[in-house]
Chains A and B, each alone.
Chain A
Amino acid sequence: QVQLQESGPGLVKPSQTLSLTCAVSGGFIHNDDYYWSWIRQPPGKDLEWIGYIFYSGATHYNPSLQSRITISVDTSKNHFSLKLNSVTAADTAVYYCARTRSGAHYFDYWGQGTLVTVSS
């Protein structure tokens, strides 16, 4: 059973960088069948896809966030990471990591989510 677990600071100051890591267990990130995604959900609002990464390091980002985000992968540690810079209160959200079926574009395993609040 694949499990994903997000970790990182729960509070980030405005204009700083949000950094999260997703640890994958029960399966390997180095897998041709899957991408690894970040998705967020502001309190009481809709889900928003942030971007994904393939084990090779190839990425695809949501254009609305592309200028501020970096997703990276470390196959030796079986985890992937998100950095979102120049954050504002609008970036306050629950951040999820999820496994994404390559070529089929669905998210079959999700982490439990971590709330990141942007506030001074």
Chain B
Amino acid sequence: QSALTQPASVSGSPGQSITISCTGTSSDVGGYNYVSWYQQHPGKAPKLMIYGVRNRPSGVSNRFSGSKSGNTASLTISGLQAEDEADYYCSSYTSTSTHVLFGGGTKLTVL
């Protein structure tokens, strides 16, 4: 069981919006603005999509946005495209000795 909880799968049709949640505790997601999100296509390395809860690295589409409320962070993808189909992982700093946590990953299917 992963330290950060994500839904196993989400799906949406092209053009729609979807949201992926990432639930932790006050020692990680809720206590710090150090949540990041990664996109991973099969056989590829993860790619940073969001850092610091809501910041997009240069080159990442503005269709990707991040937010946080309490102990739950969220990644929203608007205007779904076929190329968005991938696994998405959240990550957070934690004040425990583990230091860095990942979520269990969410498989996004574009119908």
CB of A90 within 8 Å of the partner chain: no
Digit string of B87-109 for contact with A (CB within 8 Å is 1, else 0)? Answer: 00101110001111111110000
Known: A46-B105, A105-B93, A106-B51. A63 touches B45 (CB 8 A): no
**Contact yes or no, A105 B45, CB < 8 A:** no
How close is B25's CB to chain A, nearest CB, in angstroms?
16
* Contact pick for A101, options B46, B51, B99, CB 8 Å: B51
Digit string of B79-91 for contact with A (CB within 8 Å is 1, else 0)? Answer: 0000000000101
* Complex contacts, A46 vs chain B, CB 8 Å: 2, 89, 102-105
CB of A112 within 8 Å of the partner chain: yes
Task: Give the interface SS of chain A, mostly helix, strand, loop or mixed.
Answer: loop
* Complex contacts, B101 vs chain A, CB 8 Å: 49
* Complex contacts, B99 vs chain A, CB 8 Å: 49, 60, 62, 105
User: What residues make up the interface of B, taking CB atoms closer than 8 Å to A?
Assistant: 2, 34, 36, 38, 44-48, 51-52, 57, 89, 91-93, 97-105
Beyond the given pairs A106-B52, A110-B46, 9 more chain A to chain B contacts, judged by CB atoms under 8 angstroms and listed by A's residue number, are: A37-B100, A49-B101, A63-B97, A104-B34, A106-B51, A106-B91, A107-B36, A107-B46, A110-B45
11 contacts between A and B (CB under 8 A): A46-B2, A46-B102, A49-B99, A49-B102, A62-B98, A62-B99, A63-B98, A96-B45, A105-B36, A107-B48, A110-B45
